[in-house]
Structure 1
Amino acid sequence: MKNADADSSTRQRVASSILEYGPSTAAALAERLDLTAAAIRRHLDVLTEQGQIEAREQRVYGHRGRGRPAKVFVLTDAGRQEFYAAYDELAISALDYLREHAGPDAVAAFAEARIAETEQRYARILAQSGPDVTPAEALAAALSDDGYVAASRPAGTGEQLCQHHCPVAHVAERFPELCEAETRAFARLLGVHVQRLATIAHGDGVCTTHIPKATTETATERSHS
């Protein structure tokens, strides 16, 4: 029984690591969790059989080098369900009702109103961030505090803002207006035109937003002005 409990706990750590860091190779998971290659493969096999994770080819944005893409493991909808809030069905029903009785424009207006208060709060956080922190880094930290497990990383033509968890992913799958409103808010906060490359709601392993390099310095100046 103890071994079974330990295995279950380790598999939970594996799933949590994929949630936090996004699509991950077996080697990366083994290193992060201090497991042997054989042990990580065993836990990945069990999680795959349970339908909690699935293997995919690693997505590459920009130029792809030679060789086969690495295999990465991502959470399935069933796997993410372990981390989802219980109000998803209620929210979907409410938005379905709103769309049916007030039209699709009402859903878009709701999405904008929902993000407005958060945007104001994030704007204050960006304005208070230190000069050694980019706006994308400050935004990622704010998003993480709200449960989105976000991080920013350099990209060849700028930065990428990655959200490894979306508390409203199931709702956004039905109502993309939520993602669209969030993307517009990011653009306003960063003072640049951003581009959504992937979303969890559309089946990707992580929500990825591209922030152009040419204007990141201008955004930094704006956030500290």
Structure 2
Amino acid sequence: MSATAQVSTGHAASHETDGTTRRRVLELVASRGPVTAGALATVLGLTAPAVRRHLTLLEEDGKITVHEATPSGAPRRGRPARRYVVTSGGQSELAGGYQEIARQVLRFLKETGGSAAVAGFAKERFDAVARSYAPHLTAPDAEGRAAQLVQLLSADGYAASVRPVPAPLTGPTAGVVAPAVQLCQGHCPVQHVAEEFPELCEQEARAFSELLGSHVQRLATIAGGAHACTTNIPVTASAHQGTGGPRLFPATTPTEGK
């Protein structure tokens, strides 16, 4: 192989490696955001400067943005670390090119069968999801089942995670707020479809409630403009103990962007 060919092959391999790493960075920002370069570097086993290079390029491409958090607690000295979240453009890249076809199908369904037909489709879709997930949710409490649900959702491309909700230490609700966890989905494969057909979000929340055996509350959705779909799940007690199976609780969903 000539020297020119070797250099060309080396450049191609380097470009492919960079592209693969950048895709991984985007996926991690989706699943863990808001997240810092340092935290990403730890997960990827890279240096912080190397990760920042990928973050800068993703930000320039409009795939990620810096999360503007509301200041809380005691002020910290020094410059705060930049925390990144995925943008709508990043969500579209992760989703692939099938959303427009799905949107056209649902538009046709609504034109021919009305809104009830769309709602029926959404219910049937998430009933099927619940049936496939249910055998794998074996934990005796809602918190354990939420952790198992996260694994299933992540395997299906939702970049899911579960995080404890810290109870306030001061104020009128100190010691009163029931313990809970938040299920976060950093990626929505049907984001643009759900923007037009919120029935998908509503039925997903209902399915989560059934699978977890607990009332759940949708706090935010990607379709509604948030950087992640966030579902609050109380974990005070198991609703499954002594029932022999899941119970269905009403789920509530946010109204923003609807």
Q: Which TM bucket (shorter chain)?
A: 0.7 to 0.9
CA distance in 2, matches of 1:70, 1:192: 36
| Residue 147 of structure 1, CA deviation | 2.2
- After superposition, the CA RMSD in angstroms is 2.7
**Contact preservation (8 Å) 2:95, 2:190:** yes
Q: Secondary structure at the match of 2:226?
A: coil
Superposed displacement of residue 223, structure 1: 7.8
Using the alignment, how far apart are the partners of 1:143 and 1:109 within structure 2? Answer: 22
Q: Is contact 1:135–1:219 with CA below 8 Å preserved after alignment? A: no
User: Which structure's CA Rg is the greater one?
Assistant: 2
Three-state SS of the structure 1 residue aligned to 2:230 is strand
Aligned match of 2:228: 206
Q: Which residue of 2 aligns with 1:27?
A: 38
Number of the residue aligned with 1:221 = 241
Judged with a 3 Å threshold, the aligned counterparts in structure 2 of structure 1 residues 42 and 223 are, in CA distance, closer, same or farther, namely farther
Residues 184-206 of structure 1 show CA distances to partners (whole Å, capped at 9, x for unaligned) of: 11112222211111212222222
Tell me if the contact between 2:133 and 2:152 (Cα under 8 Å) persists in the aligned partners. yes
Cα contact 1:23–1:74 (8 A) shared by 2: yes
Whether contact under 8 Å (1:195, 1:210) holds in the other structure is: yes
Distance 2:205 2:52 in 1: 37
Deviation at 1:82, TM superposition (A): 2.4
Q: 2:73 is aligned with what amino acid?
A: G
Match for 1:77: what amino acid? Answer: S
1:58 and 1:71 in contact (8 A); partners too = no
For the pair 1:183 / 2:205, whether they are aligned, the reply is yes
Distance 1:5 1:186, change over 3 A: closer
Q: Which runs of 5+ in 2 are unaligned?
A: 1-10, 167-178, 246-258
1:220 is displaced (CA, Å) by: 5.0
CA pair 70-107 structure 1, distance change in 2 beyond 3 A: farther
**Is 2:70 the counterpart of 1:48?**
no
CA distance in 2, matches of 1:33, 1:129: 30
**Residues 56 and 73, structure 1, Cα contact 8 Å, conserved in 2:** yes
Hey, what's the Cα distance between the residues in 2 that align with 1:84 and 1:160? 23
- Structure 2 Cα separation of the partners of residues 58 and 40 of structure 1: 22
Residue identity in the other structure for 1:33: L
- Give the counterpart letter for 1:149 in structure 2: A
TM-superposed CA distance for 1:115, in Å, is 0.8
1:97 maps to 2:97:
no
After superposition, the Cα gap between the structure-2 partners of 1:208 and 1:222, relative to the gap in structure 1 and judged at 3 Å, is farther
Question: Structure 2 length as normaliser, TM-score?
Answer: 0.74
For 2:156, the equivalent position in structure 1 comes to 146
The answer as to whether partners of 1:131 and 1:224 remain within 8 angstroms in 2 is: no
Distance in 2 (alpha carbons) for counterparts of 1:167 and 1:211? 22
Provide the residue aligned with 1:118 in structure 2: 129
Identify the structure with the greater helix proportion: 1
Change (3 A) 1:5 1:121: closer
Unaligned runs of 5+ in 1: none
TM superposition outliers: structure 1 runs of 4+ over 6 Å = 130-133
Q: 1:131–1:186: structure 2 CA closer, same or farther, 3 Å change rule?
A: closer
Cα-to-partner distance string for 1:93-119 (whole Å, 9 max, x where unaligned): 111122223222221121111111111
For the 8 Å contact 1:57–1:70, the answer to whether it is kept is no
Counterpart AA for 1:26: A
TM-superposed deviation, 1:15: 1.3
Identity level (%): 46
Alpha-carbon spacing, 1:223–1:149, altered in 2? closer, same or farther (3 Å):
farther
SS at match of 1:78: helix
Counterpart of 1:134 in 2: which secondary structure? helix
